Amino acid sequence: MKIIDKEQLKKKLTIEIKNPDLFQEALTHRSYLNEHKGYKYSHNERLEFLGDAVLELAVTRYLFEHFNNPEGELTSFRAALVNSDILGEIGSALGLQDFLLMSRGEAKDTGRARVYLIANALEAVIGAIYLDQGFEAAQIFVEKYVLSHLDEVMDKGLYTDPKSRFQELAQEKFGITPSYRVLKEWGPDHDRRFIAGVFLEDELAAEGEGASKQEAQREAAKQGLVKKGWQ
């Protein structure tokens, strides 16, 4: 059984750790348990569930205190900050992949599935910080590592919903309303994956992968904007 080096984790994340078991769990993927039957810790999905809520509240509180925009715009800002792409990027920059315990098969994956694993682990770590030290410590962590991307989100217009933007431009340029179809789905119920395609009539404009049909559609629209040069 592998025990995560908590001192190294503390240095990487610049946090304090009172209860190391919380962080061991936060960095344990479900697949690791399948290969290590004697492992005494649980996987990180419950902490991920908690961390997702803590992250949303921390971002919401910051946006509420610093922006006077209407609710709809604040919701868009928040969605852009807490999506899997940005969280995966943040988690990778922090080196969470060096601590994450997963199966040999998952460890070999370097594609989008790895991004989601790291994003989920980051949410679980936020949940662990909350339980370990309280909401204010979690808020500080979120402001330091997540909200630091807010300028990028604003400058690049990443808060604009890609499906709405793709539809607007498709109608403007071609008079076509795009449609979406699920092209592939796989995985168990707790870890389902989808690939969706965005179509301009019969033309497959782009594909996107996600943990839900809606997320896959958003990713397809995002990729469509890139491929069409509409960004």
Q: Which of 79, 90, 149 is nearest to 115 (CA)?
A: 90
Which residue among 25, 48, 106, 123 is the active-site one?
A: 123
Q: Which of 69, 70, 182, 90 is nearest to 142 (CA)?
A: 90
Break the chain down into helix, strand, coil percent, rounded to 5.
65, 10, 25
Name the CA dihedral angle for 209, 73, 142, 82, rounded to a multiple of 10 degrees.
-10
The answer to whether residue 123 is catalytic is yes
Q: Which of 203, 198, 166 is nearest to 179 (CA)?
A: 198
Sheet holding 179-186, edge to edge: 179-186, 193-200, 203-210
Name residues whose C-beta falls within 8 Å of residue 47's C-beta, 6 or more positions apart in sequence: 22, 25, 26, 123, 124, 125, 127, 128, 131
Which residue among 52, 85, 89, 191 is the active-site one?
A: 52
d(CA 194, CA 63): 31
The distance in angstroms from the start CA to the end CA of the chain is 47
Q: Which two tokens stand for residue 146?
A: 């997540």
Q: Which residues are catalytic?
A: 52, 123
